[in-house]
Every structure is written in C-alpha cells, then in structure tokens.
Amino acid sequence: MAEITIYGAGIFGLSTAFTCLRRGARVTVIDPFGPGAGASGGVVGALAPHVPENWNDKKAFQLDSLLMAERFWADVAECAGQDPGYARTGRLQPIADDRALALAKDRGVTARDLWGDHATWQVVEATADFAPLTRTGLLIHDTLSARLHPRRACDALAATVTALGGTIAPEGTPRGIVLYATGAAGLLEMSEHLPRAIGTGVKGQAALLDFAAPDQPQLFADTLHIIPHGDGTTAIGSTSERDYDDPAATDAQLDGIIARARVAVPALADAPVLQRWAGLRPRARSRAPILGRHPLQNDAFIANGGFKIGFGMAPKVAAVMADLMLDGKDRIPKDFRPEASL
C-alpha cells in the first residue's frame, strides 16, 4: 500500500488525496490553515470551458476534466454525505453585434467537431428573466459549463479524506511519496530559489448576493462570472490584480464589480450583498497548471497553478497525479510540466 503526503488542502491537494485514497493509498494532507483556506475557499465556482477554437492540449485536458466532473462530484457527495454544490446548468453570454454573432455561429460549428455529442454551443433568443442584457436580443448558450460551490466542495472533499481513512492535519512529518499543492504561497516560495519566477499570486475579489436562481445557467457578461448557487445565493467575480497592498482585503474595485453586474443583469439590481471575499489565486508563468516532478524537491511532485480554472481542472489533475505517483504512468501534457513555466 503506497503512502502519500500532500502539502496543501486546496482543490488540487484534496482532489488528489480523494483519488489516491480510492485507489488504496494511505494519505495524509498537511495544511496549517485547514481545508479551503486559500483561493479554494472562494465563492464563485465557475466551471466554464475555453472557447471551442484554436484547440490545444490545455483545452483538451480541460474538456476531459469537465466531462469527468459530474461523476467525480457525485462520488464525492456520496462518500462525504455532503453536497459540494455541483450542477451542470450551462452558461449564457450576450452577443453584442453582427460580428460577434458571426463568431458565435462559427464557434458553434467547431464545438460540434471538438465537443462531439457531449455538449453544445449555440445561439438562442434572450427570453429568460435571469439573463444578461444583449443589444441583439441574442445569447450564446453552452451546455458544457457547470457550477460548484467552492467552500462546500472543499468541505465535502475533506470529509471524504476522513471517511476513507485519510488524515488532515495542521503539521506533520512527510512519509512516502510527497506532493506539494501549496497554491500561491508555494509558487512565490519556489520563485525565490529559481532563476526566474515560476508563477505568482494574482489577487481576486468577489461577492456573494442574496439572490436565488438555483436552476438557472451561469452568466458571463462584461467579463464577469455570475454564478447562481444551489443554496439560494448568487456569486459575482472577479478582479485580477497583480499589484495590491492586502491580499485578503476588499475595496472599491469590488464595488465596481458589483455595480457592473447589476447593470449587465437587471435582475440583480436590488439584491443585497451577503459577503465580500478576496484572496490570492496561483497563476503559473505558462498560464497552465504545473504538474509533475517538483523542480526543487528531489523525489517529490507538484500540482499547482490552477488560477481561475482549478476547480474545472481538478478531476483530471487528480487522476493524472495519482497515475504518476502510484503507477509511474505519465499522462501530463508538455505545457503543464514545471519546465514550461521556467
């Protein structure tokens, strides 16, 4: 029976712990701040695909992961006895003009080729009450996008680790195979010891509104993700800040996000703000997750750099890391390897 020590109880660390435990390994997760304490404890939870064009390994990996998500999160819910908030509700995006309409139709064709029968990307009329304003009266509707409640998902994953005999602790001595899934702090620490930065932390601010639309698609309007959760709240996010004084503080930039969302989606105009959130998301230099052998730690591994797509990538990240660590089977795309960010 393999023994795994995972540093970091964010989405990559917990997902990999769950997958390794189900494959018979003994797993200890070490995080001084507990599950979902960093960027994985946010409020947005948009599992949205890249546009279906200019196909590459990153987009193919993400498609596989999004298609794995329904079964993955159903298994988590069953094992934990907790709802992670997953639902494949799709997504709506406004079409601004004739040029955008032509592009949307072209992407609908490529989606049929790339996504097959798994999902659709099509132009629809704007008839729903919970929808973004659109100058043309038309929207893009894709059926691949899904939503997840980040904090509930991390809590559910943590419960599965315990249920399957694993351990989550604030500290401990590493044993067996070691995986570092330490988020923005880990990227910043590694960068201090490398010829150039492997990645950094990008601050994001988001808000949670008291607005219930649990069965409605998520929206993407004015560069904002607007996510109706199953618990009767709606999340809005987010900023991307390279320069900041306090990574955990919210400010006028979040006020601007909320104001833009209320304009883009009139149904949100009077929705009270329940919570304001800010945190650092780990962004790799390559913009892809960093997976594979750790660039500094001998005989250790790394899973980091989820940035805005960590939750969407998590099911397949967990699968390929378990394959690598437990069986020596390497299925990691070239652009995801640490050297791609060095």
User: What is the per-residue pLDDT across 89-127, written as a single tens digit (0 to 9) for each?
Assistant: 999 999 999 999 999 999 999 999 999 999 999 999 999
The pLDDT of residue 248: 96
Q: What is the CATH number of the domain that holds 171?
A: 3.50.50.60
Question: Which of the four pLDDT bands, split at 50, 70 and 90, describes residue 298?
Answer: confident
**Backbone angle region of 162, left / alpha / beta, with phi > 0 → left and psi within -120 to 50 → alpha:** alpha
Q: Supply 166's token pair.
A: 């694993």
Residue 29 has pLDDT above 90, yes or no: yes
CA distance 15 to 56: 24
CA distance 56 to 304: 20
**DSSP one-letter string for 144-171:** S-EE--HHHHHHHHHHHHHHTT-EEESS
Question: Quick count: other Cβ atoms within 10 Å of Cβ 232?
Answer: 11
The pLDDT of residue 95: 98
Angle at alpha carbon of residue 3, lines to 328 and 292, rounded to 5°? 40
Q: Give pLDDT tens digits for 177-204.
A: 999 999 999 999 999 999 999 999 999 9
**DSSP one-letter string for 184-220:** HHHHHHHHTTSSS-SEEEEEEEEEEES---TTSPEEE
Question: Which of the four pLDDT bands, split at 50, 70 and 90, describes residue 3?
Answer: very high
The pLDDT of residue 1: 87
Domain ranges, residue 175: 3-341
Residue 80 has pLDDT above 90, yes or no: yes
Closest of 340, 320, 337 to residue 64, by C-alpha: 320
Q: Give pLDDT tens digits for 306-326.
A: 999 999 999 999 999 999 999
- Percent of the chain beyond pLDDT 70? 100
Q: Which residues contact 51 (CB under 8 A, 6 or more apart)?
A: 107
CA distance 6 to 335: 23
The pLDDT of residue 245: 95
CA distance 127 to 283: 37
For the four alpha carbons of 11, 338, 203 and 247, in that order, the dihedral sign comes to positive
The 3-state secondary structure of 210-276 reads CCCCCCCCEEEECCEEEEECCCCCEEEECCCECCCCCCCCCCHHHHHHHHHHHHHCHHHCCCCEEEE
Q: What are the CA-CA distances from residue 112 to residues 101, 105, 189, 218, 338 (Å)?
A: 17, 11, 43, 21, 33
CA distance 214 to 65: 23
Q: Are 4 and 176 in contact (CB under 8 A)?
A: yes
The pLDDT of residue 128: 87
Amino acid at 246: D
Q: Give pLDDT tens digits for 146-189.
A: 999 999 999 999 999 999 999 999 999 999 999 999 999 999 99
Q: Supply 19's token pair.
A: 């997958």
Structural domains of the chain, count: 1
Q: pTM score, two decimals? A: 0.97
Mean pLDDT of the chain, nearest integer: 97
The pLDDT of residue 83: 97
Q: Which residues contact 26 (CB under 8 A, 6 or more apart)?
A: 1, 2, 3, 4, 165, 166, 176
